[in-house]
Structure 1
Amino acid sequence: MNKVLATDLDGTFIPLENHPENERDLSLLGDHLAAQNVTLTFVTGRHLSSVQDAIQRHSLPQPDWVICDVGTSIYHRDGEEFHIANPYVQHLQSIVGEYSTKVVRQKFSAWDALRLQEQEKQGTFKLSFYCDATQVKSLVQMLRQALAEHAMPYNVIGSVDPFNGDGLIDLLPADVSKAHALQWWTKHTGLANEETVFAGDSGNDLAALTAGYRTIVVGNADRALAETVRTHFENCQQLDRLYLAEKTATSGVLAGCQHFGLV
C-alpha cells in the first residue's frame, strides 16, 4: 500500500517560532518520510514561490506534490523543478467557462473597498484582494450576491491575515478549495483515501480534515476546530481515524504519523 502525508504548512508542518522541539522533530520527520518512501504533498494557501521560499527558509523536506493557491494550482516536482498539473487546469477551466479572472476582475474594479493583491498572489483561477479586516464578513456576503446575480461560477473566501491583520478576499472557481483539490489529486493519482493522512490546524483546513482521510489535528489548533473535527469522526463512528495531537505543529505531525504507522 502507498503511504501519503498531505499537510498544511503554516501552523502545521512548519515549526512554530522559538519552538526547538518542532525544529528537532522536523529533521526526524524528514528522515522518517524518506526512509519509508512516503509521498509528501503540501496543501497550502501560499503561492508556489512562497512555498519554495518556505522550503528553503525552514529546511523543509522537498515535497513530491504541491497543492497551493487555496486549491487552484497543483504542481508535481521533477528533480528541482515544479510542473503544473495540466489535467487540473482543464478541470478548473471546465468550471469557469468564459468567466476568466480577468472578466471577474473588471466586474469588481469599481469597488473601492477592494484593493487588488500583488501580481504574484494572483492566479489563472484565483483573484485576490485586500480589504479592511472589519469589512471581511460583509464584503464576502456582497460579493457572493453579486456573483450570483451575474451567474459567475465563483465562490468567495474571506479571512484575516494572522501576521499583519489585513483583510483577505479570494475569489475561486465554484466549490474549489484545498479539500476539493486534494480530493481531485487523490483520484487523479489513483490513491485510496485509506492511503492518505492529512494534517491541519485551522478553519480553512476543516473540509479536508473531515473529508474521509486519516486525520491529524495538531495541538496548537483552535480548540473549537478540534472539537468540531472530533464530533464529525464520532458521528461517523471513525474515531480510530482521528489523532488529536497534544504536541504542536511539526511535533504533532510527527506524533500523528507514528500513531498511524506512516513512519
Structure 2
Amino acid sequence: MPFRMIALDLDGTILDPEGRIRPRTIAALDFARARGLEVTLVTGRHHSVTRPYYEELGLSGPAICCNGTYVYDFLAGRVLSGEPFDHGDARRLVASCRQHGVDMLVYLDDVMLYEVLTPHLQKLGAWIDGLSTRPKPELRQVASVEVVLDAAPNVWKFVVTHSDAGRLAAWYAAAEAMPAYSAEYSWHDRIDVMPAGRSKGSRLLSWAEGRGIAPSEIVAFGDNFNDLGMLTSVGLGIAMGNAPDGVKAKVGEVIGGNDTDAIAERIESLLA
C-alpha cells in the first residue's frame, strides 16, 4: 500500500447532491483508518460547518479549512496554524467588491457574515437550523462589512458571489491582477478568496510534511477548481465525474459522480 493519507474535499466530493455522506463511503474510510491511513478533510468550508461531517466520520485529527487558510483542531477547539488576511488587504478586497457590485460572505474566527441573503445562504441557514450538532455554526447578517472590519477581527476567507455570471467574471478578472489574493472558483456563482499563496494544496503538503508524509504518499479526491492545487500535487489526485471539464482535464484519474459509491469503490480497490 503506497499511500499513508487520504485527503477529501466535502461539497461535490464525499457529500452527495443532498449533502449527505454515503454509508459505503463511511465504511471505506473506517477500513482505511483501521489499515493505518490518516483521513484528512480539506475543504473550503469554515470549521463550524465542517464539524458535523467531521463528527459523523469519527475523525480525530485536524481538518484543513477555508481552502488551506488554516488547520483547525476540533478536539482542542482552536486553530493550529494559519495566516488570516492582512487588515489592509481585507479592506481593499471589500472596496473592489463594492466597485464591481458583487456580494460577499466573510469568514471570521467563529462566525460567517453576509449583507445580502442569497439562495445559497438561505439553503445554508436552513441546514444550520436543522443541525443537532453543538455548537451550531453562526451565520449572521450585517448592515456593513466595513464596520465589522473596523474591529480588526481575523478574516480567514471571503466568498465573492453574484447571480450575474458576467459581473462576477469581471470582478474575477480584476482580482487576478491583485497580488495580495488567491482567488479560485468553488462553484459557478461563487469565488473563494484567500491571502496570496494559500490553497488546499499548499496547506495539505505543509501539514503532511509535518507528519512525515511525502506528497507521493497522499491520495486526494476533489471536484472543483479550488481542489486542483491538491489534486495535482499529490501522489494520486482523483476528480469526481461531476467535476467541470476544466478540472477533469488536469488530473490523472476521473471516477464516478458524487451521486454514486465511486469514492468508496476506489478506496476499496486501493486497499485490496
Q: Normalising to structure 2: TM-score of the pair?
A: 0.69
Post-superposition shift, 1:102?
Answer: 4.2
Higher helix proportion (structure 1 or 2): 1
Choose which of 143, 168, 183 in structure 1 pairs with 2:175.
143
- The aligned residue for residue 230 of structure 2 is 208
CA contact (8 A) 1:219 1:246 kept: yes
Per-residue CA distance 1:215-257 (angstroms, 9 max, x = gap): 3333433455334313xxxxxxxxxxxx533464672222222
Q: Is the 8 A contact 1:45 1:71 kept in 2?
A: yes
The question of whether the paired residues in 2 share the 8 Å contact of 1:101 and 1:126 is answered with: no
- Contact 2:6-2:38 within 8 A present in 1 as well: yes
With over 3 angstroms needed to count, the CA separation of the structure-2 counterparts of 1:216 and 1:250, relative to structure 1, is farther
Change (3 A) 1:110 1:118: closer
Name the structure 1 match of 2:112.
121
1:172 paired residue among 163, 170, 194:
194
Which amino acid in the other structure matches residue 188 of structure 1?
A: G
Cα distance between partner residues in 1 of 2:67 and 2:50 = 12
| Matching residue of 1:234 | none
Deviation by residue 1:135-178 (Cα, 9 ceiling, x = unmatched): 11111112334x35xxxx223334546xxxxx334332112211
Count of residue correspondences: 227
Gaps of 5+ in 1: 162-166, 231-242
CA contact (8 A) 1:41 1:63 kept: no
Once the two structures are TM-superposed, the CA of residue 131 in structure 1 deviates from its matched residue by 2.6
Query: Is residue 12–residue 218 contact of structure 1 (8 Å, CA) maintained in 2?
Result: yes
Match of 2:6 in 1: 5
1:84 alignment partner, one of 79, 94, 110: 79
**1:49 positional shift:** 0.9
1:130 to 161, 181, 187: 161
SS at 2:44 equivalent:
coil
The percent of aligned pairs where both chains have the same amino acid is: 22
Give matches, 1:64-75, under 5 Å. Answer: 64-75=61-72
List per-residue Cα deviations over 1:155-213 (Å, max 9, x = no partner): 3334546xxxxx33433211221112112212232211232111112222122111132
AA matched with 2:209 = K
Which secondary structure does the structure 2 equivalent of 1:157 belong to? strand
| Structure 1 partner of 2:183 | 156
Distance 2:245 2:193 in 1: 28
Alpha-carbon spacing, 1:226–1:131, altered in 2? closer, same or farther (3 Å): closer
1:47 shift after superposition: 0.7
Q: What letter matches 2:15 in structure 1?
A: I
**What residue number does 1:233 align with?**
none
Closer, same or farther in 2 for the Cα pair 1:157/1:23, shift >3 Å?
closer
Partner of 2:57: 60
CA 1:143–1:194: 2 relative to 1, 3 Å: closer
Is the Cα contact below 8 Å between 1:14 and 1:250 reproduced in 2? no
1:213-224 superposed matches below 5 A: 213-223=235-245
CA RMSD of aligned residues (A): 3.2
One-letter amino acid matched to 1:194: S
What are structure 2's unaligned runs of at least 5 residues? Answer: 114-153
Q: Distance in 1 between matches of 2:11 and 2:155?
A: 23
